[in-house]
Structure 1
């Protein structure tokens, strides 16, 4: 299907570029939750051959203040490190990262509402609500401080979190290849567009292309992710994507609920004035976001 191939390409792009209830934690080994073992397509030294090789991987859940059951993946011991996935992404795609980091960190990956193993609902499709979900997740875990990494839309969730709650409790933060504003305003100069990372002048057409199969071109949005995503030239990515595709069944109709709001947020003021903790910014040579990432670093 056209929709599914686009969603896979988008997840590739994001990968290349992360008052609660008082109920007890629901925790179980990942293999038990998922119902079966999984053999990864490529044998890679230092990474698991099967899901069952990753014995301390767990999948847990909690319920938000507005009644949504969110799943999260965790493994390891040490300082807490929280990953927030990009749009359409989930903890299964972090299988390699979690396995490598688990010996030094207690690693968490939160599946956002309507993504991954988390509940599908018709409400809360806003970055501000996703940021509140992150706050409630922290409260659920009882964390006083942690390191954070936001990947693509996950960076926007962190910017929203910092805007609402400040940086108290954030030791260090990393942002991975997220434009400061996906929407390009009509009155911007070309330099302003590059600094912000603007890639669309029609959020509606972008959403229709990403989730409804409508035609896309470079005047509607950045099409380079689709071209790059079809290469499938990394065995690490093939392993994590195959694992995610085996167990995660995203619904484009639910994925679409947050995308318009995500595309039209402008985070330049947060980036300029509200981030006061040690920060790392990551991008790559294949990304059209490089100018905005350099601007983000400069401020």
Structure 2
């Protein structure tokens, strides 16, 4: 484990595995941690240099009271890449981590991005005022405003432990073992409720649809057949990104929200198949066109 301090004073705990010249960066989701990739990293590190890190407020990284915004997390990623001298990398974001990558592209462009992997994340989570019913269904928006408010309040309310555990269970297959569930829940609780609630609200109020058509790097969109995220929404996202590929994991392949944890072998194989289809990183434009 190594630590990097961001410009605003937050320590980020990161880990590098593998010695390839090609770097793959893994970004975890809300209330999760880089440790959730530990089962798949050894499989990926045979082929790539794998960088994983705890985003601010999560896992073993610093737990500041400031920066509970997707845009700040995107800047953290940019600062970490600069600190490590990574000129270009393949970027994979799971759940909220995908939102961080969309924000990164929106803010910094694709010059440092060799390819993009979006893992089970809607381009909009909440039925925002400008989304009609058909559009909301297409993008996978599952929360209305009262539901979003209730969820964020629940994270800091008297039943917070149950709210967080129930949400976690909803993202897993029924085959998950008690031991695995207990471990995942403990990782979840490393995120402070107040910071987590504010970050969650910022996350679920974003609308990334305008970013998708402007993505100019090879992209893989990953869906889960039995995920709480409607797989049809991931198909829709892939259709909006020029040349994007779609890979839907079946229930037998661990096709819920955490395929890399529940079934790391098929997940690693899918990533390797996608990444190996592209040669060494190529020069990119400085911004999303």
Shared fold by TM > 0.5?
yes
**Per-residue displacement from partner, 1:216-265 (whole Å, max 9, x unpaired)?**
xxxxx9x9965545766246x95596388389733222222311111101
Task: Check conservation: 1:82, 1:149, Cα contact below 8 A.
Answer: yes
1:269 aligns with 2:214: no
Contact 2:128/2:205 (<8 A) preserved:
no
Distance 1:144 1:240, change over 3 A: farther
**Is it true that 1:104 corresponds to 2:66 in the alignment?**
no
Distance 1:159 1:241, change over 3 A: farther
Instruction: State the match for 2:87 in structure 1.
Output: 144
Distance 1:81 1:192, change over 3 A: same
Q: Which residue of 1 aligns with 2:97?
A: 154
Q: Give the match for residue 283 of structure 1.
A: 223
TM-score (norm 1): 0.71
Residue equivalent to 2:152: 207
Paired residue secondary structure (1:204): helix
Deviations 1:130-179 (A, max 9, x none): 00000001001100111110000000000000001111121111000111
Q: Structure 2, unaligned stretches of length 5 or more?
A: 241-289
Aligned to 2:59: 116
Could you tell me whether the CA contact under 8 Å between 1:130 and 1:157 is conserved in 2?
Answer: yes
Alignment deviations for residues 184-241 of structure 1 (CA, whole Å, 9 cap, x no partner): 02453222001222111223222123453569xxxxx9x9965545766246x95596
Name the stretch that deviates more: 158-167 or 185-194: 185-194
Residue by residue over 1:104-152, the C-alpha shift from the partner in whole angstroms, topping out at 9 and shown as x without a partner, is: 1111112111001111111111101100000001001100111110000
Which residue is 1:292 aligned to? Answer: 233
> Tell me, which stretches of 5 or more residues in structure 1 are unaligned?
1-58, 216-220
Distance 1:231 1:146 in 2: 31
Cα RMSD of the aligned pairs, angstroms, is 2.7
TM-score normalized by structure 2?
0.73
Q: Tell me what 2:35 maps to.
A: 92
What is the rounded CA distance, in whole Å, between the counterparts of 1:94 and 1:104 in structure 2? 16
Alpha carbons of 1:143 and 1:253: their partners in 2 closer, same or farther (altered >3 Å)? same
| 1:168-247 alignment, distance < 5 Å | 168-202=111-145, 203-212=148-157, 228-229=170-171, 233-234=175-176, 242=183, 245=186
The verdict on how the C-alpha distance between 1:244 and 1:204 changes in structure 2, with shifts beyond 3 A counting, is closer
The residue that corresponds to 2:7 in the other structure is 65
Report how many aligned residue pairs link the two structures: 233
Q: Which moved more, 1:80-89 or 1:101-110?
A: 101-110
What secondary structure does 1:269 align onto?
A: coil
